[in-house]
Amino acid sequence: MKQAGNWFTEVCEECGTAFSLGIRGKLHEEQSPFQKIEVYDTEAWGHMMVIDGFVMLTQRDNFLYHEMMAHPVLFSHPAPRRVAIIGGGDCGTLREVLRHDVVKRVTQIDIDERVTRIAERFFPELCERNDDPRAELRFIDGIRWMAEQPTGSLDVIIVDSTDPIGPGEVLFTEAFYRDCRNALDGHGLFVQQSESPLVHTDTIIRPMYERLLAAGFEDVHTLHFPVPTYPTGWWSATVASKDGPLAFQRATEAEARPFDTRYYTAGVHRAAFALPPFFRSALAGR
């Protein structure tokens, strides 16, 4: 039995649960202009970044999240050349996007530069593509940036955001979704992390469907995947298509992808979009 001081515990009130990791010590703590950022050395999960008391990532399991935020949506687009990432300051999703040779330009917009600088120090493996000439990192307001983008200027938008509370709440609004749809080209796709299917369907995921459709997107689907250090250990991302049905456009390329992944495969891609009956019913409000 460990003493309380040797554990980091995140309490999820809406889940009625708490999740703890054994820690060796705290490596860093600072209050940025936007949020409190901490880094811990855990006993079994490597370095862990915590923002405002919530686990953002660990070295042991972040690949699950970053691969599933990037590869399903990119392989579902016929030619994802122009990509924007809103949020994603740890740069793990950016790294995965840049594995795709078809991608010619990625703009990452995160309001808090300190997240990226801390990631460069304590999670250098996530930042190994930050100097890629196709990447542009901007530390500004992503809402305003998106509203200023020309019509049809992007192929894929990835919203790698925090929870829809506090500063992240504006990234889950119909107005923001309308700006995203306007910036997308005809085959454009949008994806956003959408929390746990087990406990957030009524409060987050179904309202996202309603707002995305109200904003003019034609097709919306949710994919799911494990992230052990997030509440319930079961996470999701919701994908919306600007025009026409969502489809696995580049399945052959996914099968023969020229880069290694630790979780994503074409088979995992297909399985992730297969929703359990209870989740389909919950999305339908039944």
Query: Which residues does the annotation mark as catalytic?
Result: 160
Contact assessment for residue 262 and residue 50, using Cβ atoms and an 8 Å cutoff? no
Nearest by Cα to 13 from 258, 203, 237, 254: 203
Edge-first strand order for the sheet with 7-12 is 7-12, 17-31, 36-42, 47-51, 54-58
Report how far residue 198's alpha carbon sits from residue 224's, in angstroms, rounded to the nearest whole number.
11
CA dihedral for 210, 66, 163, 201, sign (positive or negative): positive
Q: How far is CA 258 from CA 38, 40, 99, 101, in A?
A: 35, 34, 9, 9
Contact assessment for residue 84 and residue 107, using Cβ atoms and an 8 Å cutoff? yes
Report how far residue 132's alpha carbon sits from residue 102's, in angstroms, rounded to the nearest whole number.
14
**Partners of 2 in the β-ladder:** none
Burial class (CB in 10 A: 0-12, 13-18, 19+), 87: buried
Nearest by Cα to 239 from 282, 264, 276, 269: 269
Alpha helices in 26-61 (DSSP H): none
Report how far residue 234's alpha carbon sits from residue 223's, in angstroms, rounded to the nearest whole number.
11
CA dihedral for 259, 263, 269, 271, sign (positive or negative): positive
